[in-house]
Amino acid sequence: MIRKYPRKYGGLTSRVEGRLYSASMVLFVFLYHAMPLYADNSSALPQVAFIDSQIEAAWADANIEPVEQATDLEWCRRVYLDLIGRIPAVDEVLQYKNDSSRNKQSVLIDRLLGAEYSYEYAKHWSNVWTTILVGRDTDNRMIDRDGMRKYLQSAWESNIPYDQFVEELLTATGDNATREESTLFNGATNFLSGKLADGGLQATAKTAQIFLGLQVQCTQCHNHPFNSGVKQNQFWELNAFFRQTRALRRFDGGRRVAWIELVDEDFAGQGGDPNEAEIFYELRNGLVKVAYPVFVDGTEISRSGLLPGVLDDGTPYGVNRRRELATLIRSNPLFPKAVVNRVWAYFLGYGFIAPIDDFGAHNPPTHPALLDGLSQRFAEYSYDLKSLMRWIVLSRPYSLSSRMKARSTTDAPDSGEQPHFSRFYVRQMQPEQLYDSLLVATEADHSEAAGRQDRWLSQFVTAFGTDEGDSSTTFNGTIPQILMLFNGDLIQAATSLDQDGFLDQVVAANQTNRDKINALYVAALARWPSSSELRYANHVLLARKGQVKEALQDVWWALLNSNEFILNH
């Protein structure tokens, strides 16, 4: 049933750029509201006040004036996208709009991070972290993506502390895929199961990159060209921590790999002595050097390649190198900074360090005191990621408008300048966000569509073929991707008539044409149309010569393909 929406949104003014055509043309609509957000008590949180004070001080130092606050519904749409991975449904827009409390932002965030949205929150963040941990390569048979997501879904629903989460990933053993007859399933094994080829080069590089913010991949062959703190020997000393770990292929009775079992085994070393268990690497001048497990900060562990055990006389021996590595990573000062920088970049568009995983003296942070202070507070809160997210989304920089003003032209990180966070930086939705938002906007059957998600997302993947298995991770607006979106099955189904879907419900509702157009705008863009947009829609009605059903179909197709729909702004 379609609700009857109010014809006017009190106090709303807007400026619209765009053109609305009939069925053969595209609408690109940009709405810019001027309504300020409701006052909120978010500054009562000392962590939020700390963020605001640091950012405001940086604005003053740079002589930059921030833009105005985002409108109420702009912020609402933004926080739904960022926290649970989709735009708000019509009822959710109305519920937030009609909330007259002064702390409505805090209330909404508590709901989105609470039990009511627990499944959607975990689903979204399992998508985010699956991409971070194993990329988007669906052809790698050493990784079971369903197993990875199953583990992550459970971890995020239980709000596992981040340090425990990392330890589980680094020390996991067992089967990477679910099987009815197996009791060894551990989806966390998928982080390493596909990274142990060639002595674990990818395991070494990705562990340093993701959990410490250090790019060491190039140092397997030579010292880092820019970061004087990362040497070739450090790569191989870190690599030595993974030499007890093996990914064993298990077959389905034929020659097809059915699952991977990740195990720890004694490692005799390349010299054959398990008490030394050394590995060798070659310098660029041909000289061969030896490496033992030494952490990046210089901390050495036992050279033994034997797993822990006890001799007949009760003397303990051996070491589990991965467990030692997990302990060293968790106690390193870069550990909280790396994830704080990553999470900040996710919500604000840019990190304090760019790239987000390249810490070092060669690449100082833009806001060092804020990064240090926020990392310290995150650690003091037992590495609670929901608390970190709450602080960021309640902060002033997150609440700003995305509209560029003349006075903010110096804040242009997309041109290589330092980000000042004096406005919200517009960015593309992630493919998963776009997919789920299309389902929400069209009230599609999530269970039926779930099986098509990976196939749909695969159209956005570009594998680069590097040693690190890199791939693109966003809908980046290339012409083939735009054409696929415009003409793809999902859009065609969403805009078709006679499917008993959302559009059919709007068409059949006993409402005025204006109310029907209102319904389409709220469903797609989480806002009401401006007077100019209503005039454009009336032009479509005239062009269709009274064919209301087809005219609404044109408007709906244009809204779902507009920049305003596919952007997080």
Reported as a single tens digit per residue, the pLDDT across 356-374 is 999 998 899 999 999 999 9
Domain layout of the chain by residue ranges: 160-330
Model confidence at 450, pLDDT cuts 50, 70, 90, reads very low
| pLDDT, tens only, 462-505 | 543 444 444 444 555 555 556 566 667 777 777 888 767 888 89
- Please state which of the ranges 279-283, 305-309, 459-463, 557-561 shows the lowest mean pLDDT: 459-463
Model confidence at 529, pLDDT cuts 50, 70, 90, reads very high
Cα 311 to its chain centre, rounded Å, is 48
Mean pLDDT of the 211-236 span:
75
What pLDDT score was predicted for residue 466?
A: 43
What pLDDT score was predicted for residue 251?
A: 87
Nearest residue to 351 (alpha-carbon basis) of 462, 433, 425: 425
What pLDDT score was predicted for residue 400?
A: 97
Report percent pLDDT > 90 for the chain. Answer: 65
- Please state which of the ranges 153-167, 394-408, 522-536 shows the lowest mean pLDDT: 394-408
Mean pLDDT of the chain: 85
Tokens of 48: 């939020």
What pLDDT score was predicted for residue 7?
A: 32
| pLDDT, tens only, 275-297 | 999 999 988 888 999 999 999 99
- Please state which of the ranges 12-21, 357-366, 402-411, 531-540 shows the lowest mean pLDDT: 12-21
What pLDDT score was predicted for residue 426?
A: 94
Residue type, position 39, single letter: A
Model confidence at 11, pLDDT cuts 50, 70, 90, reads very low
The pLDDT of residue 434 is above 50: yes
The 10 Å Cβ neighbour count of residue 545 is 8
Query: Could you say which DSSP state residue 391 is in?
Result: H
The SS3 of residue 26 is coil
What pLDDT score was predicted for residue 193?
A: 97
Give the Cα separation of 142 and 254 in Å (integer).
16
Better-predicted residue by pLDDT, 87 or 497? 87
User: 268 — phi, psi (to 5°)?
Assistant: -85, -10
User: Is the alpha carbon torsion for 394, 395, 398, 403 positive or negative?
Assistant: positive
Nearest residue to 9 (alpha-carbon basis) of 518, 484, 550, 539: 518
Model confidence at 28, pLDDT cuts 50, 70, 90, reads very low
Better-predicted residue by pLDDT, 116 or 222? 116
User: 568 — phi, psi (to 5°)?
Assistant: -95, 115
| pLDDT, tens only, 381-393 | 999 999 999 999 9
What pLDDT score was predicted for residue 463?
A: 42
CB 228 within 8 A of CB 362: yes
Model confidence at 140, pLDDT cuts 50, 70, 90, reads confident
Tokens of 107: 């209330």
The SS3 of residue 272 is coil
Rg of the chain over Cα atoms, rounded to whole angstroms, equals 26
Task: List residues bridging with 260 in a β-sheet.
Answer: 249
Tokens of 151: 């583990």
Give the Cα separation of 239 and 248 in Å (integer).
19
Ranges of beta strands (E only) in 399-524 are 427-428
Model confidence at 30, pLDDT cuts 50, 70, 90, reads very low
Angle between the N-to-C axes of helices 431-442 and 548-560, in degrees from 0 to 180, rounded to the nearest 10: 160
User: 360 — phi, psi (to 5°)?
Assistant: 155, 165
The SS3 of residue 251 is strand
- Please state which of the ranges 28-37, 83-92, 212-221, 347-356 shows the lowest mean pLDDT: 28-37
CB 231 within 8 A of CB 224: yes
What pLDDT score was predicted for residue 469?
A: 46
Ranges of beta strands (E only) in 312-470 are 316-317, 427-428
Nearest residue to 516 (alpha-carbon basis) of 175, 90, 40: 90
For 556, what's the count of Cα atoms within 13 Å in the CB-facing half-sphere?
A: 27
Model confidence at 324, pLDDT cuts 50, 70, 90, reads very high
Q: Which residues contact 540 (CB under 8 A, 6 or more apart)?
A: 20, 21, 22, 551, 554, 555
Q: What number of helices (H) and strands (E) belong to the chain?
A: 24, 11
Model confidence at 541, pLDDT cuts 50, 70, 90, reads confident
| pLDDT, tens only, 37-69 | 334 444 469 999 999 999 999 999 999 999 999
User: 25 — phi, psi (to 5°)?
Assistant: -125, 170
The pLDDT of residue 449 is above 60: no
- Please state which of the ranges 13-17, 70-74, 108-112, 489-493 shows the lowest mean pLDDT: 13-17
What pLDDT score was predicted for residue 485?
A: 65
The pLDDT of residue 35 is above 70: no
